[in-house]
Amino acid sequence: MAEHITPRSTSYSDWYVDIVLKAQLADYSPVKGSMVIRPRGYALWERMQSALDGMFKATGHQNAYFPLLIPESFLHKEAQHVEGFAPELAVVTHGGGEKLEEPLVIRPTSETIIWSMYRKWIQSWRDLPLLINQWANVVRWEKRTRLFLRTTEFLWQEGHTAHATEDEAREETLRMLEVYRTFAEEYMAMPVLTGVKSESEKFAGAVNTYAIEALMQDRRALQAGTSHFLGQNFAKAFDVQFQNRESALEYVWATSWGVSTRLVGALIMAHSDDNGLIVPPKLAPTELVLIPIFRSNNREQVLPAAEKLADELRKEFRIVVDDDESNSPGWKFAEWEMRGVPLRIEMGPRDLENGQVTMVRRDTGEKEAVALDAAGARARALLDEIQQNLYQRALEFRGANTHYPATWDEMAALYQGEDAPGGFAVAPWDGDAATEALIKEETKATIRVLPFGNEEEARGKTCIRSGKPARHMAVFAKAY
RNA sequence: CGGGAUGUAGCCUAGUGGCUAAGGCGCCUGCUUUGGGAGCAGGAGAUCGGAGGUUCGAAUCCUCUCAUCCCGACCA
């Protein structure tokens, strides 16, 4: 079924597509730009959802569900918002066989429908803060799509909060950014940079957009999550006011924040290799695969022993026993490696003679013999090590591919030409959108984030491109 | 949306105007096997991406169209 994956060195994008299709994470659907998430891909998303959902609840948020269809006029209420999203809207013009009086847009995001409701629900300071999240699908008509990374329809989570004060809303924005960072690093084993987006990269309708940015193995950056401080923009557009303790009317302060099934793509590109998918243990739907190895003359010894061990391990781990007799052990090794299961346990006659099993790590391929009665403890330790190692490996990779060019020539060389090194470039910027655009035109690299505290670091320096006084230390990269 | 490439069975590929579209992998049946993608035998599976045209005859030539991949402009 799944034999050959294009090596990363041959074609990184072919490699990526091969993994998605051959590990059966997703498949193309009949509609351009959209995809079917298959059970193995969806299981990854479910584990991400469950971890994130717990973190959202722990920070006081509640889930709700708002409808898919939004009156077109709602989008127009916030000028920046409609300008940003108009090109990618899917619009429903007919329903029940009749032309609709007002077209309905399929949500590209839910700020407008949610704030139209918040207007009804918020009257008093006692109604605040309002902390709501929803898990939903959204549609954005994309010109160029890629499995998981950019599809016309995708699944995501969008938090929408309303606050009495600017400080509180800003705090919330950063709190959720921190939740995303923690999730990326601790669960996905993927180090991320955090910071604020430049004006040209921010969300349509936001005052500030913050993001987590990760570096993929092809040295391109991927925006893996965003958190927006929306100021009073949507409150004013939808006339959402509350009475404060002094009985005065004030507009509400807002945030929104989201991560999507793009994270599945990020996970693949951050860790996987030419043998297939690699999934960090905390997110792996299956942590252990047990492969019994037997012949017809010893199958009665091996299989029961394997079942016994599996029953034991099942109490603590998500484990699958592959005792299918129609595939050879070698085939199974390759197959389960491609599926990304973090730890394989082999149990054959030679192991049983020695009262042991053989454990093989997916991240390094290292094999070791483990005494049967120590299997659970050793598996736990190895899974922890794998989780750590994946993070360390990605962190070292990012370190090795983060550059601090001293001159414009040095910086340009990072991105120009076939064999350009790519990666992150940290460099002083004058804060001018025109300079940013010029850099993008010349190198294809964009400002990914302006890290926290970057202004102080920029003091006294001059812009890498314009030579004018620098206002920011910006992180540049070619991005997905 | 512009430029390039590709499209033949579930997957990979051969066939470049002429007989019933060929092979490998996978799949099904049976036997035999099982420590890095096993072997033998038999079998099922294709309106050659779709539509239209040229021709006595089209997978093959022409036009249009759709999809995927790559490169650009726009974006989680």
Cβ of A351 less than 7 A from strand B: yes
Q: How far is CA A333 from CA A20, A346, A349, A442, in A?
A: 19, 9, 17, 46
Separation in Å: B30 C1' and A290 CA: 29
Separation in Å: B21 C1' and A24 CA: 31
Q: pLDDT at position A1, please?
A: 37
b/e sequence A183-218, b meaning 16+ C-beta within 10 Å: bbbebbbbbbbbbbbbeebbbbbbbbbbbbbbbbbe
Separation in Å: B29 C1' and A326 CA: 14
A294 phi/psi in degrees, rounded to 5 = -150, 160
Separation in Å: B20 C1' and A66 CA: 60
Q: List the Cα angle A460/A465/A469 in 5-degree steps.
A: 25
Q: Quickly count: other Cβ atoms within 10 Å of residue A91's Cβ.
A: 12
3-state secondary structure of A154: strand
Q: pLDDT at position A475, please?
A: 96
Q: Quickly count: other Cβ atoms within 10 Å of residue A477's Cβ.
A: 29
pLDDT tens for chain A, 480 residues: list them.
345 688 888 788 888 888 898 888 988 887 778 888 999 999 999 999 999 999 999 999 999 999 999 999 999 999 889 988 888 888 888 888 888 999 999 999 999 999 999 999 999 999 999 999 999 999 998 888 889 999 888 999 999 999 999 999 999 999 999 999 999 999 999 999 999 999 989 999 999 999 999 999 999 999 999 999 999 999 999 999 999 999 999 999 999 999 999 999 999 999 999 999 999 999 999 999 999 999 888 888 999 999 999 999 999 999 999 998 889 999 999 999 999 999 999 999 999 999 999 999 999 999 999 999 999 999 999 999 999 999 999 999 999 999 999 999 999 999 887 778 899 999 999 999 999 989 988 888 999 999 999 999 999 999 999 999 999 999 999 998
CA–C1' nearest nucleotide, residue A353 = B35
**Minimum-distance residue to B32 (CA–C1'):** A296
b/e sequence A98-133, b meaning 16+ C-beta within 10 Å: eeeeebbbbbbbbbbbbbbbbbeebeebeebbbbbb
Q: pLDDT at position A2, please?
A: 41
Q: List the Cα angle A463/A468/A473 in 5-degree steps.
A: 30
Separation in Å: B74 C1' and A250 CA: 37
Asked whether the beta carbons of A272 and A363 are under 8 A apart, the reply is: no
Q: Say how far apart CA A213 and CA A211 lie, in whole Å.
A: 6
Cβ of A275 less than 7 A from strand B: yes
Query: What is the predicted ipTM?
Result: 0.86
Cβ of A141 less than 7 A from strand B: no
Q: pLDDT at position A3, please?
A: 55
- Chain B positions within 7 A of any protein Cβ atom are 1, 25-28, 32-38, 66-76
Cβ of A180 less than 7 A from strand B: no
Separation in Å: B34 C1' and A339 CA: 21
CA–C1' nearest nucleotide, residue A138 = B76
Separation in Å: B18 C1' and A28 CA: 38
Domains identified in chain A and CATH numbers: 12-271 (3.30.930.10), 281-386 (3.40.50.800), 404-477 (3.30.110.30)
- E strands, A304-355, are 319-321, 343-347
Asked whether the beta carbons of A85 and A141 are under 8 A apart, the reply is: no
